[in-house]
Chain A
């Protein structure tokens, strides 16, 4: 199942041997004391690039798939209201199951690796994005939709030219929550053998430098994705910033 991603080497479970070899010219005593060692961090920073890239991949793929599924479901449910309750209940249960448990529940079915991790990560984005898209579409003022229909826009034109643009802020808000949540959950993906920044963190929990760098990258990635979505949203919705003259 990871064949399609053959170019990305899968890390061994728990990142064995990932940070253990701490031998380093600079600040050897700091390192042996498990301290925060700037020199070591500078020397070994490139070790974190592969897990970081992997983490980004896990997150972005999960968001893209999760968004496609839940956006489509939300558009369907927008016209067929009875769909909302079952979709929310089903995705709600998926959202509730702890990710670690889900990884291991999936292992016998999909095996270790990228696919298992993605199934779990995608399943956590569904509820958040679905609800926000539905809420956003519901929040479009009814008089605007009425006027649009009254002027002769057909259903698809109303949806794509009026309702979806006006729901964008809400949709983006959902995507932001989904993005930061997924970055966090992807740090546990190594339990499913899918790598990511959790690998180095778990490999040496006592070494402050290691936890700081890997953890810090996690946090920065979450913030960066959050700001990216926000920036795109602001670019797409200039009217939300129009101040009454």
Chain B
């Protein structure tokens, strides 16, 4: 099975599987083909958007507010530490065991997973704004709300986008195991291989990997686009957000 030609053959077969439907191994229904992959990808993206959207609704305002008040650093860091310590499979399994299966539950579980990077990056993004800049703004008569909207938000945008990017990529990866909770995403051909066969699971793996890379690269471009021109080119400002989690932890634990 592992001669080079055979490997190529398997990958070729998998790519064929993406474009052309074939009969299921168990017989009967047709599986694979662009139509099915389009619908699986759609479902995959739907649950991702729902989860990240839900997480943003909670984490963005909280992170921005805590950052503005320069309080709750401990919370922001703890959430990210706890978030890392709970494996995604464990989180989803806990949801299945205690709340049951279904789209809403999976979206909720994935949202919990998406919250830490968004919260931490929003918090750090705001707190890293130079205090002198804010002091000068307040000194010129800007109100609290104006400071948040006109100064902190624009300057924190690159990091906020970094957080969103991290969460989206994480959720796309984790949504692959959503089929165990009854949500048919791109993970379905991987997990239910008895129906799809080897070519099917490999095909799905390829599509999921591509999806994640495209999301990473696309959101990276978006992140650069929202970075104020003068800040571009400084590696720290536009780098992927997840690294700021650690930096935040260090800075906050000493203050």
Contact = CB atoms under 8 A, between A and B. Distances in A.
The answer to whether A and B touch in the complex, with CB atoms under 8 Å apart, is: yes
Interface of A: 34, 92-93, 96-105, 107-111, 131-132, 135, 169, 173-174, 177, 180-181, 183-185, 187-188, 191, 198, 201-202, 205-208, 210-212, 214-215, 218-219, 222-223, 226
B96 interface: yes
A22 to B, nearest CB: 14
Interface stretch (B49-57, B66-74, B86-94, B151-159): B86-94
A170 to B, nearest CB: 8
Given A181-B84, A187-B87, A104 B250 contact: no
B100 to A, nearest CB: 9
A137 B249 CA distance: 19
B96 A222 contact: no
A187 B89 contact: yes
A98 B208 contact: yes
Contacts of A92: 216, 240
Given A100-B205, A109-B7, A173 B177 contact: no
A174 B246 contact: yes
A211 B87 CA distance: 12
Contacts of A180: 81, 84-85
Given A201-B93, A202-B180, A211-B94, A219 B212 contact: no
A239 B81 CA distance: 25
Contacts of B246: 132, 173-174, 177
A105 B84 contact: no
B243 to A, nearest CB: 6
Contacts of A100: 173, 176-177, 187, 190, 205, 208
B84 A108 contact: no
A90 B204 CA distance: 22
B240 A206 contact: no
Contact of B202 (A105, A135, A201, A211): A105
B201 interface: yes
7 contacts: A99-B173, A105-B206, A108-B10, A177-B84, A205-B181, A210-B97, A211-B94
Contacts of A210: 97
A188 B97 contact: no
B85 A222 contact: yes
Given A93-B213, A104-B190, A169-B250, A188 B89 contact: yes
A146 to B, nearest CB: 23
B98 A104 contact: no
Contact of B250 (A98, A102, A173, A208): A173
Nearest to A85: B235
B107 interface: no
For A104, A105, A183, A185, which residue has the most chain B Cβ atoms within 10 angstroms?
A104
B138 interface: no
A177 B245 contact: yes
A219 B86 contact: yes
Given A198-B89, A218-B90, 17 more contacts: A96-B216, A100-B205, A102-B205, A107-B202, A108-B7, A108-B202, A169-B250, A174-B246, A180-B81, A181-B84, A184-B86, A205-B181, A211-B90, A211-B97, A212-B94, A215-B87, A218-B87
